[in-house]
Structure 1
Amino acid sequence: MSKLDYIKHYPSELIASVDSLLQAGRLAAVVKQKYPTTHTVTNDKQLYDYVNGIKNRYLKKESALAKIIYDGALNPVKGTLGTNTFISKNHGGKLKAKNEIKISTLFRNAPEAFLRMIVVHELAHLREKDHNKAFYQLCCHMEPDYHQYEFDMRLWLICREEGLI
């Protein structure tokens, strides 16, 4: 994986700017200055409460979440930072449906803005399954700075890959 693969779909001028910061050894300092602290949501119980707090504020009518956990198997290199799974099981002739959200354990020690961005993304999948215009509008409704946090999180991931953070 190239060190700038996390931002490969952004405009070339932006990629060049990030690359120059990285080459000058200043990218990590920029990210740390903007996001100096991490959150305190470190276990699955706290994550469950955190996610449900956001869900209850913006998506009250959506079905309850059965499971919300940190998952060590999710890998940002493979493009998976979080998952939203809808599971249907047959129990005694009745169909039971459950929604589960898993967040990469990488975000246990991340700035709160990045955790929130991933949570908002996964919650938006409760209403919109595809990454379409309505999906991103819902993300921005729940977190107005969604796109900025997503970009900054990608810079943070680059710094982590390079061993700078």
Structure 2
Amino acid sequence: MSLIYLQGYPESLLAQVRQLIAEQRLGEVLRKRYPEGHAITSDRALYDYALTLKTQALRNAPPLNKVIYDSKIKVMKHALGLHTAISRVQGGKLKAKAEIRVATIFKQAPEAFLRMIVVHELAHIKEKDHNKSFYQLCCHMEPQYHQLEFDTRLWLTEQALRGRES
């Protein structure tokens, strides 16, 4: 089986994932580790959720103009979420607007996975590239960021096995 969501991880780790899949235990392991879903299913609730995280960790960052679930994001073709900075001329001034879009599949994900996606996209407000500063900022906002990113990729693998991928 191709582990497309886990490309770049060490072969020893991938072997463990393949073992869980062969034993049909991947979903069980994830449900045990992350038993709770979330009730953040509307765009307004997602905006409020992202704004709370931003206020806690990125007080001096530019404002968020829009945070929505986007059914057009296909996890395989894009990322898990998207951050865009839209610049428009209004009057004689250049105005920038920050938008975050999260793949709709995360409405059904455990809250920790949604948090990881939102933290990732919020970090792009300050750091555009996936560099050391970017990941330090992610870990500042969510100390378990790297584990959550890996587990989110495991969850997406399990969703694909069940035919539920976005």
- TM-score, structure 2 normalization: 0.95
Superposed CA RMSD in Å reads 1.2
* Deviation sequence 1:41-100 (CA, Å, 0-9, x none): 010010010000000111111111111100001111124211110011112222111110
Give 5+ residue unaligned stretches, structure 1. none
Counterpart in the other structure of 2:83: 84
Residue range with higher mean Cα deviation, 91-100 or 136-145? 91-100
Counterpart in the other structure of 2:115: 116
Using the alignment, how far apart are the partners of 1:68 and 1:86 within structure 2?
12
Contact 1:117 1:150 in 2 (8 A): yes
Task: Return structure 1 stretches of 4+ with deviation > 6 angstroms.
Answer: none
Counterpart in the other structure of 1:127: 126
Using the alignment, how far apart are the partners of 1:43 and 1:3 within structure 2?
33
Using the alignment, how far apart are the partners of 1:22 and 1:34 within structure 2?
16
Give 5+ residue unaligned stretches, structure 2. none
Letter matched to residue 73 of structure 1: K
Using the alignment, how far apart are the partners of 1:164 and 1:32 within structure 2?
17
Letter matched to residue 86 of structure 1: A
- TM-score, structure 1 normalization: 0.96
Using the alignment, how far apart are the partners of 1:55 and 1:3 within structure 2?
36
Using the alignment, how far apart are the partners of 1:96 and 1:144 within structure 2?
33
Using the alignment, how far apart are the partners of 1:130 and 1:145 within structure 2?
20
Percent of aligned positions that are identical: 52
Counterpart in the other structure of 2:144: 145
Counterpart in the other structure of 1:10: 9
Cα offset for 1:164?
A: 7.6
Using the alignment, how far apart are the partners of 1:78 and 1:60 within structure 2?
32
Using the alignment, how far apart are the partners of 2:45 and 2:72 within structure 1?
20
